[in-house]
Amino acid sequence: MVKATKSKSRSAHKSKTSKTRKAASKKPKAAKPATAAKAAKPAAKTASAKPATAAKAAKPATAAKAAAKTASAKPATVAKAAKPATAAKAAKPATAAKAAAKTASAKPARQRSRSSRRRTKVGFIGQGLMGVPMAARLLGAGFALQVWNRTAEKTREAAEAGATVADTPAAAAKGADIVILMVADDSALDTVLFGEQGASRGLKRGAVVVNCSTTSPGIAFRAATALRSLSVRYLEAPVMRSVQAAREGKLQILVGGSAADLARARKVLEALGSDIHHVGDVGRAATLKLACNILVAGLTQAFAESFVLARKNGIPFETMMEVLHAGPLDSQVLRDVEQIVVNPGGRPNFYLRHMLNDLNLAMELAQQLDLPVPVTAATRQLLAAAHNLGLADKDFGALVEMMAKWAAIAMRG
């Protein structure tokens, strides 16, 4: 009996052990919850007995969540990496748009330049031989222009081109940023600036007066000083070259005054001339212009004398000019005087009376400086003689015509 009981207990023990082993072998299967539902069933059956198993089952779920997070994080990383590329792609059109905007803004640059010029108001006093083509150049460049001339009929061409015609110098200067003067002499300059209806009565503070006339250094100093008291700036800017050069905007301009004032007036002057020389303070440009005119007048008189000498002794005019043009004596002065012989009835480039005035100014300056200028003095006398012979309104090259008459020779033939 005892043996049988022991045998039974052993077999029962073995059975329990086997069951335990089977249960142990089944634990890993419970730890593989492919889904939360499968993991939940064993947990429900042994909720109190197997907390460790539930905990172990929970770990894979946590790992799964982590894996899911990792998996979801990867696309986010890719998305983040993709953003710069997207931004770069977006930037390209933006850059192209900016470039297009720049191109679009660059296209009407010339139009903006013309419109800014229209906002610059210019007064122009003096519509004579040089003043008319100079005013036409300013209108062509787009400046708003108001003109005045002592003889009103000479403003017709400017009016037809779009200029406003003023009835006084003061009205021509009113509201103008730049006021240009192109008059005959010192007396005319004084009148149009400081007379009863002079420009000084219409000038606004900060305006720049630009005197393109050939006048004396003395009046330049006086005008600059008087205008400064009105908070108005003054530049002297006498011009050189011909009427044709004025029409083409190719004048040579000598400027005396401050560099700052020249900078303000430069756009206007560039519409008139191709060569602008800043020669120093007020008075310097007037002095240099008189010195240049001494040379031009002297060369013209020298040509007149050489012309009559050659012609009187039988040298044809054409032969003489062929030699002069081919040698070192060729110059623009020579070509201009040649036209007096070729076309004696042509429109003057520079009136003889104006050249006589300029040499008078040069002689006065030479006297102030105690300088002997005998050739200039003689040329001045010859200009005075031509003036008295009725040649005042002809080109100053009429000195050749006068010398030919004195020598009793024909200009051509």
Q: pLDDT value at position 360?
A: 97
Q: Which amino acid is at 248?
A: E
Instruction: Please tell me if the domain spanning 112-280 has the same topology as the one spanning 290-406.
Output: no
Tokens read off for 161: 């081109």
**To the nearest whole number, what is the mean pLDDT of the chain?**
81
Contacts 24+ apart (CB under 8 A), 375-383: 375/298, 376/294, 376/297, 376/298, 378/301, 379/294, 379/297, 379/298, 379/301, 380/297, 380/356, 382/301, 383/297, 383/352, 383/355, 383/356, 383/359
Q: pLDDT-derived band of residue 197, with 50, 70 and 90 as boundaries?
A: very high
Q: pLDDT value at position 119?
A: 74
Residue 15 CA to residue 260 CA, distance in Å, equals: 118
Mean pLDDT to the nearest integer, 230-234: 98
Among 53-62, 92-101, 138-147, 331-340, the minimum mean pLDDT is found in 53-62
Beta strands at 233-236 and 144-148: parallel, antiparallel or unpaired? unpaired
Note the pLDDT tens digit of each residue in 16-29. 444 444 444 444 44
Residue 410 CA to residue 413 CA, distance in Å, equals: 7
Beta strands at 239-240 and 251-256: parallel, antiparallel or unpaired? antiparallel
CATH architecture of 290-406: Orthogonal Bundle (1.10)
Q: What is the fold of 112-280? A: Rossmann fold (3.40.50)
pTM: 0.71
- Contact between 274 and 251 under an 8 Å Cβ cutoff? The reply is yes
Q: pLDDT value at position 413?
A: 67
Residue 273 CA to residue 262 CA, distance in Å, equals: 14
Beta strands at 239-240 and 144-148: parallel, antiparallel or unpaired? unpaired
Bridge partners, residue 121, by sequence: 144
Q: pLDDT value at position 106?
A: 46
Nearest-CA neighbor of 345 among 394, 405, 412? 394
Residue 339 CA to residue 397 CA, distance in Å, equals: 9
- Contact between 395 and 349 under an 8 Å Cβ cutoff? The reply is yes
Mean pLDDT to the nearest integer, 41-48: 39
Domain boundaries, the chain: 112-280, 290-406
Note the pLDDT tens digit of each residue in 362-380. 999 999 999 999 999 999 9
Contacts of 119 (CB under 8 A, 6+ apart): 144
